[in-house]
């Protein structure tokens, strides 16, 4: 097997765009998606007619949501129709891995020549009247979990965190420090749902406890919004408006190897480690090469798991480092735009777009001389993708 270089034509990200993002919006999700995609295409200096590839992760934003394309979700059919994309020659919809994993598919398609300009987006819907989950305890997880009141995702995802805290001595004090830092980053980011809303450590402790140990402030805020990214060949990228963010590493993995009724910390760690191994072997790089990192934070403690699994620090060390109990290691700046915890629940789009903007030298909290960045998003055992961007082709 060839190691250390992605196969096919070199690929770069050339345009990014967010729609307006709100806790709740009166606008149809399809409109927000059109806005984000249009902005990304224009950001690249392209027109929508140039788009000949689409890749998307269309899953409904929440349990019990509807599935009308253009209202509840935004999939490839809606985008192809809304923009009347007559030059389309490749598209795919993935079922696991969030926006980064769908971006990995787009990168592979451009690399293979299946298309030249691939558009990737993630639309998230959050209406006030969102449906409740189907409470029939049918199917493995419902059958063995729902009768005990283990139904919603916040509780479901709190199990690995309770074990992490017990196993490594992590505390809510550690997390308060991290959350306050993230919200400070988001507070100056106009595209963030928490723009101008910094919080203190004390605010974190006062936040509503949902399913202990996860409080509301440990969860990314559900929003209405969409984000989009355009990929093309490095050769074409040279003639476009923005500095290319070259895709030098890519991996899409993180599948579930067990069927336990609870998410187990050790399986999360194994899933994250497998993704990290695939990512680093795709580019021949490692954590010490990364100038700026963006890791997934759908739930706050994911940041610990991914920083550790990707090799930015040792197993069980992240909480004490980020909590300020252990002297800072050589951790690079990470989630500098506020991530999903600060920008809103856009399923990995904040991570991917920040990694690209840092390479392009136009991030809000720009890391001077950032030449290698990372974007990783998704659940450790529910589908997970990662990309490494570089300022020059590897």
Partner 1 sequence: MSSSYRSGTPGNEAASAPVRPRPTPTLRTKGFWDAARRGELAIQRCSACQRFFHPPAPICMRCHGEDLGFERVSGEGTIHSFSIMRGSPPPGFESATPYAVLAVELDEQPGLVVMGNLVGVPPEFAQVGRRVRVVFQTLDDSFVLPMFEFIADESGKV
> Is residue 367 a contact point for partner 1 (CB under 8 A)?
no
Is 4 or 206 the residue whose CB approaches partner 1 more closely?
206
Q: By CB under 8 A, which span of 8-16, 162-170, 274-282, 358-366 interacts with partner 1? A: 162-170
155 is a contact residue toward partner 1 (CB under 8 A): yes
List 68, 184, 210, 364, residue binding partner 1 (CB under 8 A): 210
Which member of 7, 86, 136, 239 binds partner 1 (CB under 8 A)?
136
Please say which residue, 134 or 235, places its beta carbon nearer to partner 1.
134
The answer to whether 100 and 377 are in contact (CB under 8 A) is: yes
Terminal-residue alpha carbon distance, the chain: 18
How many C-beta neighbours within 10 Å does residue 365 have? 17
> Which one of 15-23, 80-88, 206-214, 294-302 is the stretch in contact with partner 1 (CB under 8 A)?
206-214
Nearer to partner 1, 94 or 211 (CB): 211
* Cα(64)–Cα(87) distance, integer angstroms: 35
Task: Check binding of 316 to partner 1 (CB under 8 A).
Answer: no
- Compute the least distance from the CB of residue 279 to partner 1, in Å: 26
Binding to partner 1 by residue 64, rule CB under 8 A?
no
Please give the full DSSP string across 292-312, using - where no structure is assigned: EEE---SBTTHHHHHHHHTTS
Return the exposure string of 189-226: e unless at least 16 CB atoms fall within 10 Å of the residue's CB, then b: bebbbbbeebbebeebeeeeebbebbbebbbbbbbbbb
- How would you class 23 by CB atoms within 10 Å of its CB: exposed for 0-12, middle for 13-18, buried for 19 or more? middle
Judged by CB under 8 A, does residue 78 bind partner 1?
no
**259 near partner 1 (CB under 8 A):** yes
> Which residues are paired to 219 by β-bridges?
299
260 in contact with partner 1 (CB under 8 A): yes
Is residue 272 part of the contact set for partner 1 (CB under 8 A)? no
Binding segment for partner 1 among 127-135, 288-296, 337-345, 360-368 (CB under 8 A)? Answer: 127-135
Distance in Å, CB of 300 to partner 1, minimum: 15
Closest alpha carbon to 337 in 293, 290, 291, 385:
293
Interaction of residue 266 with partner 1, rule CB under 8 A: yes
Give the closest residue to 211 by CA, choosing from 299, 295, 143, 138: 299
Q: Which one among 20, 42, 69, 150 touches partner 1, defined by CB under 8 A? A: 150
Question: Using omega within 30 degrees of 0 as the cis cutoff, is the peptide bond preceding 246 cis?
Answer: no
Give min distance, CB of 165 to partner 1, in A.
8
Judged by CB under 8 A, does residue 255 bind partner 1?
A: no
| 3-state per-residue secondary structure call for 214-253 | EEHHHECCCCEEEEEEEEEEHHHHCCCCCCCEEEEEEEEE
Task: Choose one: 15-23, 99-107, 153-161, 324-332; the region binding partner 1 (CB under 8 A).
Answer: 153-161
Question: What's the rounded Cα separation, in Å, for the pair 38 and 321?
Answer: 40
Does 49 bind partner 1 (CB under 8 A)? Our answer is: no
- To the nearest whole angstrom, how small is the minimum distance from the Cβ of residue 66 to partner 1? 16
# chain residues binding partner 1, by CB under 8 A: 45
d(CA 119, CA 40): 9
Residues in touch with partner 1 (CB under 8 A): 132-138, 140, 142-152, 154-155, 158-160, 162-163, 166-167, 208-216, 258-262, 264-266
């Amino acid at each position: 097997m060839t190691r250390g270089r992605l196969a096919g034509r070199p690929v770069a990200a050339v345009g990014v765009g967010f729609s307006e993002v709100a806790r709740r919006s009166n606008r149809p999700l399809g409109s927000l998606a059109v806005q984000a995609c249009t902005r990304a295409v224009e950001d690249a200096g392209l027109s929508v007619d140039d788009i000949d590839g689409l890749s998307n992760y269309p899953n409904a934003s929440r349990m019990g949501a509807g599935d009308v394309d253009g209202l509840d979700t935004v999939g490839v059919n809606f985008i192809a129709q809304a923009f009347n994309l007559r030059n389309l020659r490749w598209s795919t919809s993935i079922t696991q891995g969030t926006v980064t994993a769908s971006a990995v598919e787009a990168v592979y398609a451009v690399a293979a020549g299946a298309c030249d300009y691939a558009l990737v987006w993630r639309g998230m819907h959050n209406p006030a009247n969102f449906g409740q989950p189907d409470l029939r305890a049918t199917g493995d997880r419902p059958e063995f979990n729902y009768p005990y009141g283990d139904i919603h995702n916040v509780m479901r995802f709190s199990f690995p965190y309770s074990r992490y805290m017990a196993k490594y001595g992590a505390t809510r004090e550690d997390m308060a420090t991290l959350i306050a830092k993230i919200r400070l980053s988001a507070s100056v980011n106009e595209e963030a749902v928490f723009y101008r809303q910094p919080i203190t450590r004390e605010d974190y402790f006062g936040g509503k406890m949902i399913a202990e140990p996860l409080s509301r402030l440990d969860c990314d805020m559900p929003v209405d919004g969409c984000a989009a990214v355009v990929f093309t060949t490095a050769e074409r990228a040279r003639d476009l408006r923005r500095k290319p963010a070259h895709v030098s590493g890519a991996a899409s993995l993180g599948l579930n190897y067990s069927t336990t009724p609870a998410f187990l910390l050790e399986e999360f760690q194994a899933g994250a480690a497998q993704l990290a191994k695939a990512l680093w072997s795709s580019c021949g790089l490692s954590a010490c090469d990364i100038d700026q990192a963006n890791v997934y934070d759908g739930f706050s403690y994911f940041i610990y798991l991914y920083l550790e699994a990707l090799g930015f620090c040792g197993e069980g060390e992240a909480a004490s480092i980020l909590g300020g109990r252990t002297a800072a290691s050589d951790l690079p700046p990470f989630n500098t735009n506020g991530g999903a915890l600060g920008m809103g629940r856009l399923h990995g789009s904040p991570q991917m777009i920040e990694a690209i903007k840092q390479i392009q030298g136009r991030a809000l909290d720009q890391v001077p001389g950032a030449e290698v960045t990372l974007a990783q998003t998704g659940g450790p055992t529910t589908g997970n993708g990662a990309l490494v961007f570089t300022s020059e082709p590897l």
